[in-house]
Amino acid sequence: MFYMVNSLISSVIWGPPMLAVFLGTGLFLSVRTGFFQISGIRKWFSLTIIDAFRKRKEPPKNDGTVSQFAALTSALAACLGTGNITGVATALVAGGPGAVFWMWISAILGMMTCCCENILGIKYRIRNSLGQWAGGPMLYIERGLKKPRLAKVYAFLLIGASLGMGNMTQANSVSAGLEAFGISPLLSAFILAPFLFICISGGLKRISAFSEKLIPLLSCVFLILCLTVIVKNRHALLPSFASIVRDAFSPKAISGFGIAKAARYGISRGVFSNEAGLGSNTVIHANADCDKPAIQGMWGIFEVAFDTLFMCTVTAITILTSGVWSPTGSLNGIALCSAVFESVIAKSGRILLGICICLFAFATLIAWSFYGKTAAAYLFGDESGAYYNIIYTVAAFIGCITKLDIVWNISDIFNGLLAIPNIYALLRLSDEAISELNKTKSPRQRRRL
């Protein structure tokens, strides 16, 4: 009964009205900025990755900040997880190839949502009692909207999301991945817990140093695996893209999927993938070495583009070109992805995929610890961080050895509720975010508020 109630609440929160709010917010901000994510692509790409490459040899500052690239990789560690692999597979199974098109739409609009979140995160960040930056939706809700009670509600929900979706479900993915190598869940728990505690006890500096090295390397390994499959099945590349566009608009596509299912699962996959609208990534971006809020906002644009438009698309095309997926097939999630890579790279493909899933999940684990720790510090004081690290590690241990159907549903509820105060604040403070962004534009590019 409890499970049924949780499932019902989760489906209501993540139903069409909430997904429409996500899309509507992104569209509203996109229109007001003249679709800067598209019209300003040369500017934001130059001021993010290209600029970071130029500054890569500069020594790090000792003022509690991390580099903008480190902030990006840490934020990507939180959202680049099993969802970008198995989540895309489940979206294809549930919504068909057309789901990928609607995933693109949600990402394009979400780029401006994430941009404005980061702008507000930098603008309203403060130094805590330890001399470190503290930022995120809690701060711009409290200091921008002058609603401290709503800020506390957001912080409480962020802790719930951190312990659920960011922790126990990811730990369970690590355990499942290691089980394929003959390692029992209990042994996985004993292996994972100490490594996790060591990583998160070093604070954002250690988390970002780990993410800065792991995420680029892990992304490259996964992309090589995907490209191996795509090149082998290159004859199916154009038909796969054609099916994505065709099925996105067909009332009932040839494959049996219609526009309703494609839109529903594609949009929800995009939202879950890049977290634009939840505000969680802002917690890390607020610690970046950046004095201009608009510049950090542009890193948010790149983050969504890389996470969803690029990584999720590569995963989807890999599955579609492989020939393993079919509208009537029974494979889903990890099983489908394993079959895709085994079809080209044999047993080693399954092994490499398992390693990638474990490491992506571990990266998500350590990044989400910082979200929850920051929220706990906001509610209970900066000294609570050490206690939160212990609680977080214990939750990961439990996540390795238990079945998490109920936890998944509760996590969905926390994530959905998390978006409500954040989007409310984002819309109320949109004038300030857009004003900051307009400072980086030439007079010709500026749009009237």
Domains and CATH numbers, the chain: 13-431 (1.20.1740.10)
Lowest mean pLDDT among 118-122, 306-310, 350-354: 350-354
Q: Report how far residue 108's alpha carbon sits from residue 100's, in angstroms, rounded to the nearest whole number.
A: 12
pLDDT for residue 158 = 92
| Cα–Cα nearest to 298, from 171, 449, 425, 112 | 112
Q: What share of the chain is helix, strand, coil (3-state, %, to 5)?
A: 80, 0, 20
pLDDT for residue 447 = 47
**Sorting pLDDT into bands at 50, 70 and 90, what band is 116?**
very high
pLDDT for residue 5 = 45
Q: Report how far residue 166's alpha carbon sits from residue 106's, in angstroms, rounded to the nearest whole number.
A: 22
The pTM for the full model equals: 0.86
**Sorting pLDDT into bands at 50, 70 and 90, what band is 138?**
very high
274: Cβ–Cβ under 8 A, 6 or more apart, which residues?
79, 107, 110, 114, 303, 304, 307, 308
**Sorting pLDDT into bands at 50, 70 and 90, what band is 181?**
confident
**Sorting pLDDT into bands at 50, 70 and 90, what band is 391?**
very high
Whether pLDDT at 176 is above 60:
yes
Q: Positive or negative, the Cα torsion across 232, 238, 243, 245?
A: positive
- What does DSSP assign to residue 61? P
Straight-line distance from the first to the last Cα atom of the chain, in angstroms, rounded to the nearest whole number: 50
Contact 312, 130 (CB under 8 A): no
From the CB of residue 197, how many other CB atoms can be counted at a distance below 10 Å?
17
| Cα–Cα nearest to 295, from 29, 109, 64, 44 | 44
Residue scoring higher pLDDT (255 or 195): 195
pLDDT for residue 109 = 92
CB burial of 159-172 (b: ≥16 within 10 Å; e: otherwise) equals bbbbbbbbbbbbbb
From the CB of residue 129, how many other CB atoms can be counted at a distance below 10 Å?
10
**In terms of residues, how long is the chain?**
449
Q: Report how far residue 445's alpha carbon sits from residue 449's, in angstroms, rounded to the nearest whole number.
A: 13
pLDDT for residue 439 = 77
In DSSP terms, 36 is beta-bridged to: none
Q: Report how far residue 369's alpha carbon sits from residue 200's, in angstroms, rounded to the nearest whole number.
A: 7
| Cα–Cα nearest to 398, from 193, 210, 158, 177 | 193
Lowest mean pLDDT among 68-82, 131-145, 277-291, 341-355: 68-82
Whether pLDDT at 137 is above 90:
yes
Contact 286, 63 (CB under 8 A): no
Work out the percent of the chain whose per-residue pLDDT is above 90.
Answer: 19
Q: Both tokens of residue 165?
A: 């979706």
Amino acid at 306: F
Backbone angles phi, psi at 288, to 5 degrees: -75, 150
Lowest mean pLDDT among 47-61, 143-157, 418-432: 47-61
- List helix spans (H) across 124-168: 137-139, 148-163
Q: What is the mean pLDDT of residues 140-164?
A: 91
Contact 321, 229 (CB under 8 A): yes
Q: Look over the chain and give the mean of its residue pLDDT values, rounded to a whole number.
A: 81
pLDDT for residue 270 = 74
